[in-house]
Amino acid sequence: MKKQFLSLTLFTALTLGTAGTTTALAAPHSSPVLSEPSTDKQVIKRIDADKIYKNIEYLSQTPRVAGTDSEYKAVQFIKRQFQSYGYKADIEEFNFLSYTDPNLVELSVAGFDGEIQANHLTYSVNGDLSGDVVYAGLGTKEELEETDVAGKIALIQRGNLTFAEKVLNAAEKGATGVILFNNADGELNGTLGEDNDRFIPSVTITKKDGEALLEKLNDGVKLTASLKIEGAHSGEKTSYNVVATKKATKNNKAKKERYHLYYWTS
């Protein structure tokens, strides 16, 4: 009984998803109902655990990020597997917006002692710039009306508005870049939500570093920041569904099953 349970579990893992990897197969829209115990036994007898392990091993060799060659190779593999089971297999293409993280994020501030570790926001744009640092509060429209940020880098605290709103408000007033600092301990990671050609280069820093910069500014110290972001890219990519169909037999209706490769990063 334990062996049967293990085999059925492995079969389900291959069909519905592979836990512990970055990619999984989605369940078909409608799963067949096994109404008789004898049918269960027939299915279990046809399961080959060794083949399941081999398929999982093959699909787990490399990350298959959507829109990459690795994903396309996995799609072709699944298509061939369906065909070997007697299905007619087709590939459906669909487009989606994708963001590639930058490979370089640097921030240095002249007039400030110590190094600052900067992070990027998802959908941040590339840039290589320098400018005076000015404090712009929470980055509201009202605060930016009272602050001259034209040609400068705005230091903005997290809170009240979305990151995108803060960046766009600063950009609208002529800022060339934005430094966002956290309002709680720890690093600040976030997203601007979507691609926007009005975004300007933006980075995040900790609350500790942000407050230290603000203290310098309040003491009348002139701060000049150099900000560099390289390698970020937003654009449309293509991913795939694998659709398998099987002709009807005398006793069974035609089946159509749809699978898609899902991805997550955590």
DSSP string for residues in 222-235 = --EEEEEEES-EEE
d(CA 179, CA 227): 9
**Whether residue 220 sits in one domain with residue 108:** yes
pLDDT of 10 above 70 = no
- The domain total for the chain is 2
pLDDT value, residue 68:
84
**Whether residue 87 sits in one domain with residue 54:** yes
Is 109 within 8 Å of 224 (Cβ atoms)?
yes
pLDDT of 12 above 50 = no
Q: What is the pLDDT of residues 198-229, one digit of tens each?
A: 999 999 999 999 999 999 999 999 999 999 99
**Whether residue 106 sits in one domain with residue 88:** no
**Whether residue 83 sits in one domain with residue 18:** yes
pLDDT value, residue 259:
53
Three-state SS at 56: helix
Q: What is the pLDDT of residues 83-112, one digit of tens each?
A: 998 899 999 999 888 888 899 999 999 989
**Whether residue 213 sits in one domain with residue 108:** yes
**Whether residue 203 sits in one domain with residue 162:** yes
**Whether residue 18 sits in one domain with residue 119:** no
d(CA 262, CA 266): 13
- CA angle, 18 then 19 then 23, to 5°: 55
The whole domain housing 124 covers 102-231
Q: Which helix (H) or strand (E) holds 198?
A: none
**Whether residue 122 sits in one domain with residue 83:** no
**Whether residue 137 sits in one domain with residue 84:** no
Least confident of 17-21, 61-65, 120-124: 17-21
* pTM of the predicted model as reported, rounded to 2 decimal places: 0.63
**Whether residue 141 sits in one domain with residue 73:** no
- What is the residue whose two structure tokens read 């994708």? 98
